[in-house]
Amino acid sequence: MIDLDTDYGIGAAAQAFLARAGKMLIGGQWVDSASGEFFETRDPATGRIIGRVAAGDAEDVDKAVRAARNTLEGRLWGGMLPAAREKLLLNLADLVERHAEELIELESLDNGKPVTIARMIDIGRAPNFIRYMAGWATKIEGATITPSVAMGPHARFHAYTLKEPVGVVGGIIPWNFPFVMALWKTCPALATGSTVVLKPAEQTPLTALRLGELIQEAGFPDGVVNIVTGLGETAGAALARHPGIDKIAFTGSTAVGKAIARAAADNVTRVTLELGGKSPVIIMPDADLDQAIVGAARAIFFNAGQVCGAGSRLFVHNAIYDEVLSGIARIASAMKIGPGLDPATEMGPLVSEEQRQRVLHYIESGLSEGGELLAGGNVRAGDGYFVTPTVFGRVKPEMTVAREEIFGPVLAAASFETIDEVVNLANDSQYGLVAGIWSTNINVVHRMIPRIRSGTVYVNAHNLMDPAVPFGGNKQSGYGREMSKMAIDMYTETKSVYIAY
């Protein structure tokens, strides 16, 4: 599919995958799109094309949904015992571990992220996540209930609940953590016995396709996981409105999330939404400043700010404002920016030229609306979709950079005096995904936590994830939770049974 002579600076396994990748996985077969159309995926560090991938549309989605339905109802998967599903997921975890280096290179090349991040987070943590979800397959339980209804003086009822797979799941995912997102949408579904049609983001389809191969190698029956690559407005929209889908699991922007929920409403399809954020980080005057400065810089610049929980709004107490902001600006200016495949790189390019233009537009708005530029604010010379880590100080709450999700390495900082003031500032957002508090006064922290409207609060930390801890949003950051037993609940239906005796 691509020019094999091109040296991307990756190993033989990743190179071989690039050479064979491009088809979609439907019912256990690797196929071209029905239309025969393709789209290109690029290396964000250079803008070079690294692969051509099938552009699926409504017809391909329909085939994939039928395959997933057949498998759901068939003996091979529908009749499989929980321990056997667990074993298949454990096989998959082992395979991900074994092919980690290849996956790290593919993720870095397709998304632009530093290999160090892919190694530590995206691919490094994947086996643990898969194994955690594998464990749930054998631990899904209903309840036994003694109802008080009766039929006449003698007949009584015994009641119990069954937890059944939700059915065919449509997973629609973004490009910022492509492999992680693919796992979040598939593994809990597979633990419950559901089947999946997954649509990766157009910018980063490669590791989801490699995951499809590993799922086959792990021994999952054909049609358990189907992967339809394609554009959001065609393949994604077709999935969201398909009557054969029982549940849509979406991660992405709030605007697209709303469109998906509307489309799904016609079929009363279940929906969970993990959407955007504009997450506050609060630094109290008693914080350990060395830790807080590094922590606040990481909270926004990790993964070039392309993180749903990025700490993009910073509130620093007046007494320490100048010290904290100059510290963060120093870190921003010293960050090593370069191609993700260079092990010395601390921050890679943004995912696409479109995303870079979006971020630059926000930087211009920060300047024109009166933000004080303390670091960055420009592109890096040469090829690739680079933007330098940018810090705006003295940002007013009504400024665009304080209100809208930028999804890039741009920090909007302001100062505060009282706890009431900073709680109001933190909550003054349509979003409510995560929040960070840096303080050594645990009493104050405990009083602030219940007042902050967000799905997660980090104290003296940021951007942590654990498979056992629920993750999701309040307000327009979405509904439903991923990770933990709550994720399993999102992929099951409850059936109540009454038996007269």
Binding site for ligand NAP (CB under 6 A): 172-176, 199, 201-202, 231-233, 236-237, 240, 251-253, 256, 259-260, 274-277, 308, 405, 407, 433, 473, 478
Residue 41 touching Mg ion (CB under 5 A): yes
Separation CA 471–CA 457 (nearest Å): 10
Secondary structure (H, E, C), 85-140: HHHHHHHHHHHHHHCHHHHHHHHHHHHCCCHHHHHHHHCCCHHHHHHHHHHHCCCC
The residue type found at 234 is: T
Tokens of 12: 């033989």
Nearer to Mg ion, 212 or 377 (CB): 212
Q: Residue 41 touches which of Mg ion, ligand NAP, none (CB < 5 to 8 A by kind)?
A: Mg ion
**Shortest separation between residue 178's beta carbon and ligand NAP, angstroms:** 10
Nearer to ligand NAP, 77 or 129 (CB): 129
Q: Residue 227 touches which of Mg ion, ligand NAP, none (CB < 5 to 8 A by kind)?
A: none
Separation CA 17–CA 141 (nearest Å): 40
Nearer to Mg ion, 205 or 309 (CB): 205
Maximum Cα interatomic distance, the chain, rounded to a whole number of Å? 85
**DSSP letter at 107?**
H
The HSE-up count of residue 239 (CA atoms within 13 Å, CB side) is 34
**Shortest separation between residue 342's beta carbon and Mg ion, angstroms:** 17
Q: Residue 231 touches which of ligand NAP, Mg ion, none (CB < 5 to 8 A by kind)?
A: ligand NAP
**So which residues are the catalytic ones?**
274, 308
Q: Residue 86 touches which of Mg ion, ligand NAP, none (CB < 5 to 8 A by kind)?
A: none
Residue 110 touching Mg ion (CB under 5 A): yes
Tokens of 268: 């009363």
Separation CA 49–CA 18 (nearest Å): 11
Helix or strand run (H / E) with residue 216: helix 206-218
Q: Residue 110 touches which of ligand NAP, Mg ion, none (CB < 5 to 8 A by kind)?
A: Mg ion
Nearer to ligand NAP, 137 or 168 (CB): 168
Sequence-distant (6+) residues with CB within 8 A of 318 are 415, 416, 417
Q: Residue 175 touches which of Mg ion, ligand NAP, none (CB < 5 to 8 A by kind)?
A: ligand NAP
**Shortest separation between residue 454's beta carbon and ligand NAP, angstroms:** 11
**Shortest separation between residue 157's beta carbon and Mg ion, angstroms:** 57
**Shortest separation between residue 50's beta carbon and Mg ion, angstroms:** 7
**Shortest separation between residue 247's beta carbon and ligand NAP, angstroms:** 14
Separation CA 375–CA 145 (nearest Å): 62
**Shortest separation between residue 109's beta carbon and Mg ion, angstroms:** 8
Separation CA 67–CA 85 (nearest Å): 19
Nearer to ligand NAP, 381 or 468 (CB): 468
Nearer to ligand NAP, 216 or 253 (CB): 253
Residue 105 touching Mg ion (CB under 5 A): no
**Cα 179 from chain centroid?**
9
Handedness of CA 290, 295, 300, 303 (dihedral sign): positive
Rg of the chain over Cα atoms, rounded to whole angstroms, equals 24
Which of these ranges, 34-42, 56-64, 363-371, 384-392, lies near Mg ion under the rule CB under 5 A? 34-42
**DSSP letter at 380?**
P
CA torsion 324→325→330→332, rounded to 10°?
110
Tokens of 150: 């009766």
Separation CA 471–CA 468 (nearest Å): 9
Q: By CB under 5 A, what part of segment 191-210 binds Mg ion?
A: 203
Q: Which residues bind Mg ion (CB under 5 A)?
A: 41-42, 110, 203
